């Protein structure tokens, strides 16, 4: 963890896999499936947009990226879940570590730890001794990141961030790294332990979710979610409460700027999703990309 490049890479990527997995698996259906939506009305100066991403490095999920960039060019500001500026994120590295007198050997049961050590080595290629000071949820996310390897060197969110930088857009985060980390720390240890012992168990489900994302099939994503009681239990904290705060922040930003909001697709849908919450606040929210563009 002493190498600055390694720390920077970890801190940028470590949260997204967990949030993306929970958000997609917990998303209810919309009346009309789409990934990109137009926001207008309520006496705002210019039209703004909200786009549902998926926090992966799989080349397939970049299918709509060029179209989204066209809409980014129409906006003054790019609004992400997090401001991904590495210089800002590095200040939070200490929050990823256990207290000075603790290691993961103090956290996991010995029988579980034996399996976890083997799984971590096999999945990440890293020696467990180099990771034993990480908080359990950071190890959880690190393993998930490696398990979700794709053919791109960056996630879709990181790509949009970099394009925003290149285009000179002001970039704002709806949440802070600390807020996201504090929320992740509420994931029960038994869930973290279960995943670390068998990270391959969700591989087929992840592939199915990617396919449904590409189809903008939110209804089918809901059916996938309903098979997992754990994700239903996490939905209130990981989605509903966050969505309400995100909607408040968007409401504050949108009056003085034309914005492109890019957040995990699971935040968009349902009665407690951003689309409906923005409609409740008096905005017109209409689909721009229904389904897959051929």
Q: Check if the beta carbon of residue 36 is closer than 8 Å to that of residue 288.
A: yes
pLDDT > 70 in the chain, percent: 81
| pLDDT at residue 111 in the model | 95
Which 3 state secondary structure label does DSSP give 259?
Answer: strand
Which distant-in-sequence residues (6+ apart) come within 8 Å of 64 by Cβ?
Answer: 35, 36, 51, 289, 293
pLDDT at 213 over 70: yes
pTM summary value? 0.84
Query: Tens digit of pLDDT for each residue in 77-126?
Result: 999 999 998 887 778 888 899 999 999 999 999 999 999 999 999 999 99
Query: Tens digit of pLDDT for each residue in 127-168?
Result: 999 999 999 999 998 898 888 778 898 899 999 999 999 999
| Helix segments in the chain, DSSP class H | 4-13, 16-25, 65-72, 86-89, 110-124, 136-147, 156-166, 177-184, 189-197, 203-214, 218-225, 229-235, 241-253, 274-280
Dihedral, CA of residue 135, residue 139, residue 144 and residue 149, to nearest 10: 130
Q: Check if the beta carbon of residue 50 is closer than 8 Å to that of residue 275.
A: yes
Full DSSP string of 159-182? HHHHHHHHTT-EEEESS-HHHHHH
């Amino acid at each position: 963890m002493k190498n600055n490049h390694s720390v920077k890479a970890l801190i940028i990527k470590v949260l997204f896999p967990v949030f993306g997995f929970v958000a997609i698996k917990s998303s209810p259906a919309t009346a009309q499936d789409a990934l990109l939506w137009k926001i207008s009305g309520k006496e705002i100066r210019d039209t703004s947009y909200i786009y549902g991403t998926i926090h992966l490095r799989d080349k397939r999920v970049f299918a709509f990226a060029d179209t989204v960039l066209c809409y980014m060019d129409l906006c003054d500001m790019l609004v992400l879940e997090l401001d991904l500026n590495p210089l800002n994120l590095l200040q939070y590295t200490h929050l990823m570590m256990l207290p000075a007198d603790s290691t993961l050997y103090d956290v996991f049961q010995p029988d579980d730890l034996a399996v976890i050590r083997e799984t971590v080595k096999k999945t990440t290629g890293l020696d467990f001794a180099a990771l034993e000071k990480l908080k359990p949820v950071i190890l959880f996310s690190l393993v998930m990141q490696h398990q979700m390897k794709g053919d791109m060197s960056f996630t879709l969110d990181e790509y949009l961030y970099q394009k925003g930088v290149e285009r000179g857009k002001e970039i704002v985060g709806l949440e802070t790294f600390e807020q996201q980390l504090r929320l992740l720390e509420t994931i029960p240890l038994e869930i973290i332990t279960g995943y670390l012992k068998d990270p391959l168990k969700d591989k087929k489900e992840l592939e199915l979710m990617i396919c449904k994302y590409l189809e903008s099939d939110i209804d089918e994503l809901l059916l996938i979610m309903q098979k997992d009681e754990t994700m239903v239990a996490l939905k209130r904290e990981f989605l509903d409460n966050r969505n309400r705060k995100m909607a408040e922040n968007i409401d504050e930003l949108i009056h003085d700027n034309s914005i492109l909001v890019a957040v995990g697709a699971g935040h968009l849908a349902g009665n407690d999703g951003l689309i409906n919450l923005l409609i409740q606040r008096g905005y017109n929210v209409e689909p721009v990309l229904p389904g897959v563009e051929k």
